[in-house]
Structure 1
Amino acid sequence: MIEVGGIGWVTAREHGCAARGERTGSDDDGSLDRFFRDGLFAYPFKNHGRLDRASRLTAVGVALALRDAGLSYSAEEKQNIGIIGTSDEGSLASDLLYFKDYAECGRTLSRANLFIYTLPSSALGEAAIHFGLQGPLLYLTAERASLQAALETAEEMLELGEAEAMLAGAVNGQEALYFFLTRAGAGQPNRLGSAREARQKAAKGRTLGDVIQQFQRRQKGES
């Protein structure tokens, strides 16, 4: 069985960790800079100022999920953990920003630090580099229920032995939600049920915000 070892989320209003029972209101200005300043990350996130919004949300969501699972990481350590992400918007916001910069520069050039985020998988790459993830990396698109598809794909990878653990999640708008998944008996406490149960709960939400609320209610002991 594949178990959920940790869940982390961030929205415009708050962020939290499911197993730890943490929900903290956000006084951020929308840039997410406070997360990179105030000790969420085990060590400084290199060049975080250049990250696009999807990459910032992904980094914060992953950091919260790892914290919830009680998993440590460092700049020197590499771990056999994979990551799968999805988004309803892909890299559209960064694509538009890049093209705007290109047009304003006379349609002859644009900044390279904008170009690198025109791939929807770039956010996952930034997270993999910082957290030392050496397992599979996959950006997934699906016509419907992309978060459930990401969770199911992560389960399959674990069952096939492609990684010791997987991170699976989604970023939409100003919200991010990430799950830390492991095989049963892998040494992580099972406080959040199975990955299958997580998929079923995720299916109850029409938006990512709805899904986050499903796990917030679990913290309160609601069904």
Structure 2
Amino acid sequence: MALTAETESRLYRSLRAAAGAAAHLVALGFPTAVAVLARPGSSLFSWHPLLMALAFSFLMTEALLIFSPETSLLRSFSRKVKVRVHWALQLLALLCALLGLGIIIYNKHLNGKPHFATWHGLTGLLAVLYASGQCAGGVLLLYPKLMKNWTLAKLKLYHATSGLVGYLLGCASLMLGMCSLWFTTSVSNAYLYRKRSQH
């Protein structure tokens, strides 16, 4: 049985809305879980996973979803407002990422451990550097007259495409962080603690 165009359109919108809601939940849920595991303030290192999860999972995801017609939390606002909020969220994400990077560099220095010796560390460094460049490129979109040889449409396309690459780098770093000794130990300890408290 074939679907009518109207039913197919409704189904498509519903699936996009459900996927968007799931994206918002994961964007908030992952940093929340990391905060529970890391217990920020318990050590200098404890701030690193939280700040990076806030930067790449929550703030960047929300900054991207602002432009989604089905899932934006600012659907009824003008494009100009959405662009400004996107810019503010990306700037906050960059600040969190730079702080998280600075903390891990200082923590490794204090403990005499090598810097950027794992795939997680290398990918994380690349993601933060890429995000810095991407934010600089975003400033050019606020002032397109500075780029006289480029059309605004091309600048927007390059910024959006490049931004997705940066977002994927950040997500890859988070996923590699979930394979780290700290994360796997923290999850195991939390699981064992919960299991013991149930008996």
Q: State TM-score, norm by structure 1.
A: 0.28
Between structures 1 and 2, the one with greater helix share:
2
Relative to its length, the structure with more strand (as a share) is: 1
Higher relative contact order (CA closer than 8 Å, sequence separation 6+): 1
